[in-house]
Structure 1
Amino acid sequence: MTSPDLFAATDATWPAAAYTQVGPWVLRDGQGGGKRVSATSPTAEARPADIPQAEAEMTARGQSLLFTLRPEQADIDAALARQGYDIIDPTNLWLAPIERLTDVSLPRVTAFCIWEPLAIMEEIWAKGGIGPERLAVMARAQEKTGILARWNEKPAGTAFAALHQGVCMVHAVEILPEQRRQGVASWVMRAAAFWAAARGARHISVLCTQANDGGNRLYSSLGFEVVGQYHYRQKNPQKVT
């Protein structure tokens, strides 16, 4: 498993409304669904001299000037930095063999795989800032499920998982504040793994910003490994969340 496989899995399991290649750039139409589905990415052929083309295309579409970059695209990253683009949300790509999370059975009535999302799931997501635009992103994915967690006989959290070529990617993990630090997120990830394993998945993956210390500790403790990173470069970064 290599990072490019996970970038493809990210696009498939958290898809933009549309992808358009213009020269050496891939532009995304996010329709308000956040940076991951709105950022422009360079292809292998892109060079710093091509940046004005991407900027012109984003401007013509009424989009914020937002790029997503991997470590191997350092020349473009450096050029954007010189042009006043801020670095936003350095993110880890975590990966584990699926069996690493299916070695412990789920306690009864702890986590349920459900699609379409229940109202309580949408309410929990909304409390974490995941609104209709991101629910629309979920709806665009193909083989998918939502996960509803319960703890102390009450709703505790929710997440979204989808499959792409043997990889289960988990997104939008949201645990209610009063239910945190009790292992709920671990059970959510294990529930996703059991769901995916039953459908032939070989790996499970999750994205986590490097600033999210709690999330990164959780995935490390579950046996995930960091296999890649990416970040954004943006002008006027308050415009896209």
Structure 2
Amino acid sequence: MPQKKLRVELLAMTPEPLSLIYAAFRQCYHAGFVADMWPRLLSGEIGREKQAEFVQSVLESGHDSPVEHVSFSFAVEGISRACSHQLVRHRIASYSQQSQRYVDESDMDYILPPAIARIPEARERFETLMVEISGAYRELRGLLAANGRGAKANEDARFVLPQAAETKIVLTMNCRALLHFFSLRCCARAQWEIRDMALAMLAICRDRLPALFAVAGARCERLGYCPESARFTCGRYPLRDNGA
């Protein structure tokens, strides 16, 4: 039952994402039919740089719904159940998560919070507890199986598993949902684990679609000031001047 480390991999994304977003934006303002423009976009007749400039200029106006036509699908492992509970609160997304009902957790992997890892006594207590919980799970699973629960023993034994238990998940978000996700979860105030995951996802998105994600991230990075109150700001950016 080792500690698990975060791993984020891109499984798939919408083909020709920049051209698709460009076409969707253009259709909003173009009298013609963008399907007739599509071959020119793919051939490079309408260059990528021009497409990117147009997309960025429209986004700056606040019009962002056409970016919903492009989505990214990620596979993530090495996150805790505590993290996944935060993740699935982002509702404009699709999730497929490893089930503790069907997967045997007798050798449960777990996530060790860095703050606990830095304190030897805390780490020792935490790791001892993980071993104790795994033992309790195995014992309960065996008792349940021996008393008629059979293959469904996991279903009830899982009730002793901690939030530290590692989970794996596939998630798909469109670009508008991703921009919102990054604005919240890349913030210094976000919980460390989901922030690490968000930053790893953002790095992939920036590499694959820089025209859209180059300026994505915590809200302060886009705004140039901290939208939080003086009580909650991390101090990285100045607070908004409410008198301006």
**In which range does the TM-score fall when normalised by the shorter chain?**
under 0.3
- Return the structure number with greater relative CO, CA threshold 8 A, min gap 6: 1
TM-score w.r.t. structure 2 length? 0.24
TM-score by length of 1: 0.24
